[in-house]
Amino acid sequence: MKESNAFLEQEKLGTLMRKYAVPCVISLLVAALYNIVDQIFIANADYLGSYGNAANGVVFPLTVVALAIAVMIGDGCCAYVSICLGAQRKEDAHKSIGSAVLLCVISSLVLTVIYLAFQEPILTAFGGRVNAETFAQAKEYFLWITLGVPFYMFGQALNPIIRSDGSPKFAMASTLAGAVVNIILDPMFIFIFKWGMMGAAVATVLGQILTAVLAVWYLCHMKVVRLERESFRIHPKLAKKYLPLGVCSFLSQISLVAAMAAINNMIRKYGAADAVFGQEQYAQIPMAVVSIVMKFFQIIISIAVGTAAGCIPIVGYNIGAGRKDRARDLFTRLLIVEALVGFAALLIVEFLPGQLIGIFGAKNESVHYTQFAIRCFRIYLCMLPLATVNKATFIYLQSLGKALLSTALSMVREVVFGVGLALLLPLFFALDGVLFSMPVSDVLTFVISLIAIIHTYRTLK
**3-state DSSP call for residue 418?**
helix
**3-state DSSP call for residue 194?**
coil
pLDDT score for 1: 40
Q: Among residues 301, 247, 196, 201, which one has the least CA distance to residue 77?
A: 247
> Cα separation of 390 and 48, whole Å?
37
- Per-residue burial over 358-381, b = 16 or more CB atoms within 10 Å of its CB, e = otherwise: eebbbeebeebbbebbbebbebbb
Query: Mean pLDDT throughout 255-272?
Result: 86
> Does residue 50 have a pLDDT over 90?
no
pLDDT score for 459: 87
> Cα separation of 324 and 338, whole Å?
21
The residue ranges of DSSP E strands in 282-436, in sequence order, are none
C-alpha of 109 from chain center:
20
pLDDT score for 3: 55
pLDDT score for 256: 75
Q: Is residue 24 within 8 Å of residue 307, measured between CB atoms?
A: yes
Q: Among residues 117, 153, 148, 121, which one has the least CA distance to residue 38?
A: 148
Question: What is the overall mean pLDDT for the chain?
Answer: 89
Task: Band the pLDDT of 53: cuts 50, 70, 90.
Answer: confident
Output the CA angle 328-331-336, nearest 5 degrees: 135
pLDDT score for 5: 65
> Does residue 107 have a pLDDT over 70?
yes
> Does residue 4 have a pLDDT over 80?
no
Q: Considering only 3-17, 34-48, 77-91, 141-155, which range has the smallest mean pLDDT? A: 3-17
More confident residue, 363 or 421: 421
> Cα separation of 257 and 58, whole Å?
10
Element (H, E) at 439: helix 420-459
Task: Band the pLDDT of 218: cuts 50, 70, 90.
Answer: very high
DSSP label of 126: T
Task: Band the pLDDT of 70: cuts 50, 70, 90.
Answer: very high
CA dihedral 415, 417, 420, 421 (to 10 degrees): -150
Percent of the chain whose pLDDT exceeds 90:
47
Element (H, E) at 421: helix 420-459
> Does residue 431 have a pLDDT over 70?
yes
> Cα separation of 225 and 223, whole Å?
6
Taking CA atoms, 371 is separated from 48, 251, 286, 366, in Å, by 20, 33, 11, 9
Query: Mean pLDDT throughout 240-266?
Result: 83
pLDDT score for 447: 95
> Does residue 324 have a pLDDT over 90?
no
Element (H, E) at 234: none
Q: Which of 91-100, 306-315, 355-364, 442-451 has the highest mean pLDDT?
A: 442-451
